[in-house]
């Protein structure tokens, strides 16, 4: 192909293989449903797949186009103080266009929309290097990539689709969230445990302040709380992001609109009321997640952040009841 690709290499256990094959069917449908639809470009491009035999068994490997960082990285670059409204509008519009293609043309529900699963189409990676100027033309470059792929395939870990030319393995831990990601497909046996991380941020609006006073899952460090972006840096980011392009990624938890693999969907902070209550869900569950993402982009903070407290625990039974009550309270306060 003479180009870089991002590889997602799945664990060799049979249930992971089964889930990966389900994902491949979804991805192939995305690519073939309507190639001429202008909204298809807002979904990550699937290049193909193959099987690799390693010391731990046979791994399903999926190849995707190389993209930049995710929206969580962007939130952090703005120091959790909120991304400018014009940029948030642009991002949200593209997310919704991508969802329209998924929902209407592909009949697919994403079920796990969150900042980590929205990738930026950018000429620059996290280090500011122009990846458009990079090529795989030299043997030395190819050798590095092949060695990297082989070492990953032998590993017991799954590689994120957000990987860049070096697959961003170094940054994987720093991007992982404190919640459990509940996987669908045959009850998605492989519930992944994400590393906890500190959301060093401060509220920038009364709405965020209200949310922060109610529920906090992390502590703010004083150094980050007092940190500010310089005017020059803000101008630099605005110029860089004014034409930002994004793509929806990671259909590992997705399902068909007429065939759901499980009722355990969505990451907690972006979970719709019907999913919390264990009820029936449809494409509107994705729209709920978009609303939560919008709030987080604008404020740098979660809209909903369920966690253990003196009033309720995270266990499913109490979480369903209390989160639904909390959502109702938000409705009344903001006259939604």
Q: List the chain domain ranges.
A: 67-136+166-305
- Pick the range with the lowest mean pLDDT from 34-43, 53-62, 270-279, 308-317: 308-317
Q: What is the pTM of this model?
A: 0.66
Which percentage of the chain shows pLDDT scores above 70? 60
Which of the residues 37, 104, 112, 132 is marked catalytic? 112
**Buried-exposed string 167-191: b where 16+ CB fall within 10 A, e elsewhere:** bbbebbeebbbbbebbbbbeebebe
The secondary structure of 305-331 as a DSSP string is -----SS--SSHHHHHHHHHHHHHHHH
CA–CA separation, 80 vs 8, rounded Å? 29
258 is catalytic: no
> What pLDDT does residue 227 have?
57
CB count within 10 Å of CB 139 equals 8
Task: Give the pLDDT band (50/70/90) at residue 236.
Answer: confident
- Pick the range with the lowest mean pLDDT from 12-16, 23-27, 200-204: 200-204
| pLDDT surpasses 50 at 76 | yes
CATH of span 67-136+166-305? 1.10.510.10
> What pLDDT does residue 46 have?
98
> What pLDDT does residue 80 have?
93
Closest CA to 220 of 240, 198, 237: 198
Show the beta-strand stretches assigned E in 148-222.
180-181, 192-193
CB count within 10 Å of CB 135 equals 10
| pLDDT surpasses 90 at 288 | yes
Per the listing, tokens 């034409």 go with 243
Show Cβ contacts of residue 324 under 8 Å, excluding neighbours closer than 6 positions. Answer: 273, 276, 277
> What pLDDT does residue 295 have?
97
DSSP state of 70: B
| pLDDT surpasses 70 at 163 | no
Tokens of 147: 């060695």
CA–CA separation, 93 vs 321, rounded Å? 32
| pLDDT surpasses 90 at 23 | yes
CA–CA separation, 317 vs 267, rounded Å? 16
More confident residue, 311 or 5: 5
Taking residues 33-49, what's their average pLDDT? 97
173-185 tens-digit pLDDT: 444 443 433 334 3
Average pLDDT score over the chain: 74
| pLDDT surpasses 70 at 308 | no
121-130 tens-digit pLDDT: 975 444 445 5
For residue 327, with 0-12 CB atoms within 10 Å meaning exposed, 13-18 middle and 19 or more buried, which class applies?
A: middle
């Amino acid at each position: 192909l003479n180009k870089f690709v991002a590889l997602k290499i799945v664990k060799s256990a049979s249930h992971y293989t089964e889930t990966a094959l389900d994902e491949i069917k979804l991805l192939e449908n995305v690519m073939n449903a309507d190639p001429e639809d202008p909204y298809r470009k807002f979904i990550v491009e699937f290049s193909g797949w193959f099987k690799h035999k390693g010391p731990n068994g046979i791994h399903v490997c999926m190849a995707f186009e190389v993209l930049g960082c995710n929206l969580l990285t962007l939130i952090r670059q703005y120091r959790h103080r909120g991304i400018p409204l014009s940029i948030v509008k642009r991002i949200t519009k593209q997310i919704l266009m991508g969802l329209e293609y998924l929902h209407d043309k592909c009949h697919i529900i994403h079920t796990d929309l969150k900042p980590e699963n929205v990738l930026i189409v950018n000429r620059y990676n996290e280090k500011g290097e122009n990846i458009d100027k990079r090529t795989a033309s030299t043997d030395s470059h190819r050798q590095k990539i092949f060695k990297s792929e082989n070492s990953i395939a032998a590993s017991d870990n799954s590689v994120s689709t957000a990987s860049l030319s070096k697959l961003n393995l170094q940054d994987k831990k720093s991007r992982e969230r404190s919640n459990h990601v509940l996987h669908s497909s045959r009850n998605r046996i492989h519930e992944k445990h994400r590393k906890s991380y500190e959301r060093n941020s401060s509220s920038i609006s009364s709405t965020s302040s209200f949310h922060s006073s109610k529920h906090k899952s992390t502590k703010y460090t004083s150094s980050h709380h007092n940190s500010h972006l310089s005017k020059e840096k803000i101008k630099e980011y605005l110029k860089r992001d004014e034409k930002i392009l994004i793509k929806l990624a990671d259909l590992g938890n997705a399902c068909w609109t007429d065939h759901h693999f499980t009722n355990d969907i969505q990451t907690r902070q972006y979970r719709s009321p019907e999913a919390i209550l264990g009820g029936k869900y449809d494409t509107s569950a994705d729209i709920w997640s978009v609303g939560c993402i919008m709030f987080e982009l604008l404020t740098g903070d979660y809209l909903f952040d369920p966690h253990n407290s003196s009033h309720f625990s995270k266990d499913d039974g109490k979480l369903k009841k209390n989160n639904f009550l909390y959502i109702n309270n938000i409705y009344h306060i903001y006259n939604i």
